[in-house]
Amino acid sequence: MKCFVLKKKQVLFVVVLILTMILLSVNLGTTSAANVYFGYTTRKVPIYNVETEEKKVAITFDSAWGADKTLRILENLKEYGANATFFIVGFWAEEYPDMVKAIAEQGVEIGTHSNTHADFATLSKVQMEQELTTSIETIKNLTGKDVNLFRSPYGSYNNASMEVAESLGLKTIQWDVDTLDWKGLSGAEITNRVLSKVKNGSIILCHNNSDHILDALPLLLSALKNKGYTITSVGDLILQDNYYIDHAGVQRPNV
């Protein structure tokens, strides 16, 4: 009898817990606690990397401040037969229009990194849309090319930012390999860090004006090529259709 009473209490506890989670999900109006409990979620997730059997990675450069190293970056990419994606802030494009044109003329992909480098998790949907449409218009006027990719400043995003980006035909892109080049790491340290983390389908985060990016890039590109990797743009790496993004941000083909 004692064991039976104990089991009844355990069942009652679980029922109360589930009901509490359901009520929380209704009241919060965000990612459901019940969803998390049962192992699924309605939270939208950007693309962090891609599931692929190909030895292929994308290298990216966030461009918000400074441009004196950009042409050398382009020269390095060309020398090593690599492509890349530059995520450009609108005010950077306005300040350095010739750099934007040089990037596009080399066939290097350009995505938007917002217009003012604002934290999207703090903005309204109207503000988000203005940030994106303004930056896209600036880039398109300079290059004549459409913009299909978006990276949130600071990597900060939420469901609202994902929805606004999707409504504008943009895929939101994060990264799974952070060079930490902005921390002043040496070229060798940046290269070793990337090589310790990179895998098929990785998206590598760099910054166009970090202290030692020009020391790192020849070492990094050479090492990746020696390991058999093709170094390309995000647009070339990711799947364009018939895919899903799992809870960890891995873009996977539907099978």
Please say if 62 is a catalytic residue: yes
The span from the CA of 85 to the CA of 93, in Å, is: 15
Do the beta carbons of residue 252 and residue 51 sit within 8 Å?
yes
Which of 104, 123, 121, 110 shows the shortest CA–CA distance to 150? 110
Annotated catalytic residue within 113, 117, 207, 212: 207
Catalytic residue among 62, 113, 117, 181: 62
Active-site residue flag, 113:
no
The angle, 0 to 180 degrees and rounded to 10, between the axes of the packed helices 159-167 and 125-143 is 40
Residue 254's Cβ-count burial label (10 Å; 0-12, 13-18, 19+) is exposed
Cβ atoms within 10 Å of 185's Cβ, excluding its own: 20
Q: Which residue has the tokens 């939101």?
A: 172
Residues with active-site annotation: 62, 207
